[in-house]
Structure 1
């Protein structure tokens, strides 16, 4: 159950703030190539989202459009909203690739919690992602505690998250999932 919840959060997420730009982003059409991060993020101040509600680069709502759920036979739409260092996420599950038929047996889970943005992480593809540590405090309205260690990267209005988050910092992913990006809604 803990693994499902962590995957739910990661799917819903969180989710891509890039590290600071050194101004030499070489290929903005292919996020997996080139070096550095999107220069629109500016500087190395990721905004750790202090508990006083300061905005971070993740501020706002991000949505992963209808897509397959890895390892499953259904599709989902995931929405992640961040205010300061707090987040909410929701997942809508569907039986079809167009996300028009709700899955009758799958819940549409929601979660909320807090997160911190940490150090820059240089990936093997030359992209500089940012450590993303989340702490889920509620799942479907009930108290629930899950910690997840991941990475995120923002390029323009597109958010990429790590392939799969880990339960400890040592299990943090070292590559991004470029196949299922999130897009800024507002």
Structure 2
């Protein structure tokens, strides 16, 4: 598996290689051993999958609070998304900052989002499927998030329509200025991701 960014950054863009022939291709999409070799020691316990019918569907910006905080490993199984990780670690020099990467079924890119970051994505076409591994089980009492269009974070969502498709729950998420983050800065600076 390859990595496409600074290996000291907490958020990582990964590019598992594909081995093809006239039948198609094969890819090892996850290897605990390889992740440990590149400094990702997260153990994943649950796989999730979502389907979004409409282009311009926004899911996020989500996290789970301790004691059930989740790291995520995200990939797109069908279609394409723009994926975002927002720094929510109190005391971080990049608190409220974000990185983003385009994840496509055709390219097989993956985004590793560690604990301490909000996560969200927007679908770039209709009928998109996204799969992600998480490091702790779903705990509804620990759910949290920040509103998708928060003015402090100021994500420039690639919206073709005037308004995105959002869940009622996501429309009620607080602004960053109203959030008491449960995460602390761990000394690892958020670095830029290189384009895939």
Normalised by the size of structure 1, how large is the TM-score? 0.28
Normalised by the size of structure 2, how large is the TM-score? 0.27
| Larger RCO (alpha carbons 8 Å, 6+ apart) | 2
